[in-house]
Amino acid sequence: MTFFACNEPRRLGHRRRSAASAIFQAIVILLLSTATQAVTLEDIKVEGVEGKKLDNVLAKLDLTSVPPDKKFTEATLAYQLRGIPRQVSSALEPFGYYSAEVTTETVRDGEKVTVQIQISLGEPTRVRQSLVELIGEGSGDEVLAPLIKNFRPKTGKIFDHARYEASKAEIQRTFLARGYFRARSDRARVEVERATQRADIDLAWKTGRRHVFGETTISGSQLRDGFLRPLIPYKEGEFYNQAELLKLHRAILELDYFGLIDIQPDLRRERRAARQGATDAAAASGQKVGDEEEDEDEEQVDTAEPPSVPIKIEVTPAKRSRYSAGVSFGTDNGAALRLGLDRRWVNERGHKLKADAEVGQRRSQIGVQYRIPELVNLPGWWNAGLSLRQEEIGGRTSDIGIASVARTARWRGNQLAAEFNVHKERYEQATDELQGGNSDTFLVYPALRLDRVKADDLLYPQRGYSLSAYVRVGSTALGSDIDFAQAGLSGKWIRALGDDYRLLLRGEVASTWVDDFSRLPPSLRNYAGGDRSVRGYGYQELGPLDLLGEAAGARHLAVASAELERNISEQWAVAAFVDAGNAFDESGFEPAVGVGLGLRWRSPVGPVRVDVGHGLDQPNQVVRIHIGIGPEL
């Protein structure tokens, strides 16, 4: 009996456990069967926002980072959907929308699921009040004041985080550019009231004192000591301005002596000097300055002299000799092979030597040039050069030798050149007997030239222009065979019209005054027609003809061009153009007109232009292809 009584309860407990186990197993099986019903994400559709807001929403959604072939369980999908409102709200807050309403819906096609997100932006949060101020010496700075006054977003405007951060960053960059190296934030608080859609901005900086230029040190130069110092545009003790360092960097870069140029304010050295000043001031007053107090004490030290920052210039020499070789082609001058040697510095005084040679279909030449830098008075170069070339001009061959001495300089954004040339030219010329004969002319003439280029991008400008002007005067009093004078002016103007169009205008005029035009060598005469002149006509085709029907050149020149270019992709564009002009003598000006279409390619080495032009003034004028490589300006 005892045994039975004891075993009966055990059998009952066993049955109960068996029933519970069965129920548990059923639940597990049901869950497992549900978990195995996997789905894939087909698409995510977002409505209610566009542009940058849409981009930021998609970037914030966790679902957008899911691979297309990833399988979801229903539980995982539900978890992802619950997180969407929070992620969308986080994506919209930087644009000033703190009360957006988000609803989600799924559309199923078998195992494929499309998630649809509907967004209602609601009212944006606007700036109720904005207090932005500077404390200290910088509060009166004429450059910083407009940045504080125009801080964005302004009162009443949407509290856009990007504008807010950009305004802060611009002020902080200007602190460094103007020499407020000890500027620090005093207050930086933004309070957003979601219930009222209002934001209050409270910002303040302690600027500290403005630094002045300290000692400038130069290291790494292969040139003699003090060579670069005349280029320094500031004086020690003047207020620091980063623009002066950029100007110095450009001046050193244009010399082409160095492969690396680093110009920086030596802030570590300045901080060490500031700490030492704080320590000395504390010692004089009987106080002890600890490490944790030094930075704070730097702000409190007030001396009669403003703090100074040393300037450190580190340069690395470029490769001393540069060799070049290349092949060029243009419809004006044909194909050519070019070789060159550029000796960046000959000695420690920075002298340069350059030699080049060219062998081409229509022009071959060899030249050498020696350059001496002038960095003190109107910085630039003294140049002495000799060149010999044979060139086809107007259908005839000229042998030309020129020896020249020149002084070049940059002045107020202009490139100036004053030259003295000795010019010897032998050229073919038709005679009265309708025969070709050789003529020789020896010229001695000074010349002045001015060039100016201003553009937002030299390779592919959206806004820019170039101007070039020259004057030459030759006189028998100097040893020339003839008296003559020449002047010319040319210019180009480029302006973008929206995002896809550019307008390019070009013009050139030139005149020559000489008693005996036949004695003026062809290389100094005026011609029209070709890639850089009137397209649709051959190179130097336009103008008066000689007795044998070849281009004779003219005393005067007038050419104009208008071109409209349209982008068809990031690297390609098409263009339509109209060119007009001619070379002429006193008998009268009759412009020839050429029209055509072109293709443009923005290659890694510069624009490549292919034009198809047709001249309208001659019935039998053929269609011509013009190819040009290089910047428009």
pLDDT in tens, 372-419: 999 988 889 999 999 999 998 877 889 999 999 999 998 888 999 999
DSSP assignment string, 413-462: TEEEEEEEEEEEEEEEEE-TTS-EEEEEEEEEEEEEEEEEEEES-SSS-S
- Which residues neighbour 216 within 8 Å (Cβ) at sequence distance 6 or greater? 229, 232, 236, 310, 311, 312, 313
Residue 523 to residue 363: CA distance in whole angstroms: 12
Residue 557 pLDDT exceeds 90: yes
The pLDDT value given to residue 606: 80
Please state the pTM of the whole predicted model.
0.75
Residue 382 to residue 370: CA distance in whole angstroms: 8
270 confidence band (pLDDT: 50, 70, 90): low
The region of weakest confidence among 94-98, 295-299, 358-362 is: 295-299
Residue 11 pLDDT exceeds 70: no
* Burial profile 397-417: b = 16 or more Cβ within 10 angstroms, e = fewer: ebebebebebbbebeeeeebb
Instruction: Specify whether the CB–CB gap between 72 and 29 falls below 8 A.
Output: no
The pLDDT value given to residue 130: 92
| Tens of pLDDT, residues 469-519 | 999 999 999 999 999 999 999 999 999 998 899 999 999 999 999 988 989
Share of the chain above pLDDT 70, in %: 87
Residue 379 to residue 373: CA distance in whole angstroms: 8
The pLDDT value given to residue 295: 46
What average pLDDT does the chain have?
A: 86
Max intra-chain CA distance, the chain: 156
Coil vs helix vs strand at 480: coil
Q: What is the mean pLDDT of residues 232-253?
A: 94
Q: What is the mean pLDDT of residues 169-182?
A: 93
Share of the chain above pLDDT 90, in %: 61
